[in-house]
């Protein structure tokens, strides 16, 4: 009986450990990043604030500097997830939105070709804000917001 009890406890412990590990294999995290400024206190944003910045409805940081939002290129699957999840728009709706905003004199965010280019730009540009897979958010940048998304085979943590 003791052996059976020990075996059942071991099985429960193993199951619990697997439950902690397995979900991470089925999810990715996207990080919204800013450069690290030696004289600035790190900030934290929520989804609404990130949406306002990337839709160019919030123009200035708390210090009064102009936000510089940066997108990945339109073919990047991380951008598609950001558009749907945080901006809450389809690709078609977002194109329509920027057409309307352009006539009001508001341009869409800059676009860069790769996550490494985004990290480098954000690191060098005060008030720049962008998004990358969390695995690309290294010590050169500060993560201001994170969100989980379903894993996608198109997501890659390899430097491109």
pLDDT in tens, the chain (160 residues): 566 556 566 666 554 554 454 444 557 899 999 988 766 677 899 999 999 999 999 999 888 899 999 999 999 999 999 999 999 999 999 999 999 999 999 999 999 999 999 999 999 998 999 999 999 999 999 999 999 988 888 887 865 4
Number of folded domains that form the chain: 1
> Which domain range does residue 79 map to?
27-150
Whichever domain contains 98, its CATH number is 3.40.190.10
Residue 52 domain-assigned? yes
Residue 87 domain-assigned? yes
Q: How far apart are alpha carbons 49 and 43 in whole angstroms?
A: 12
pTM of the model: 0.80
Q: Which of 4, 150, 146 is nearest to 77 (CA)?
A: 150
């Amino acid at each position: 009986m003791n052996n059976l009890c020990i075996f059942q406890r071991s099985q429960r412990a193993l199951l619990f450990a697997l439950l902690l590990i397995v979900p991470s294999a089925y999810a990715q995290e996207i990080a919204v990043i800013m450069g690290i400024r030696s004289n600035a206190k790190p900030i934290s944003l929520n989804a609404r604030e990130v949406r306002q910045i990337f839709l160019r409805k919030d123009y200035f940081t708390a210090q009064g500097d102009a936000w510089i939002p940066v997108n990945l290129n339109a073919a990047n699957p991380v951008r598609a997830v950001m558009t749907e999840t945080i901006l809450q728009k389809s690709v078609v709706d977002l194109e329509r939105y920027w057409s309307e905003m352009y006539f009001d004199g508001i341009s869409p965010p800059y676009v860069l070709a790769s996550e490494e280019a985004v990290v480098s730009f954000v690191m060098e540009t005060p008030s720049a804000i962008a998004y990358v897979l969390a695995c690309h958010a290294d010590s050169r940048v500060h993560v201001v917001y994170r969100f989980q998304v379903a894993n996608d085979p198109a997501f890659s943590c390899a430097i491109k």
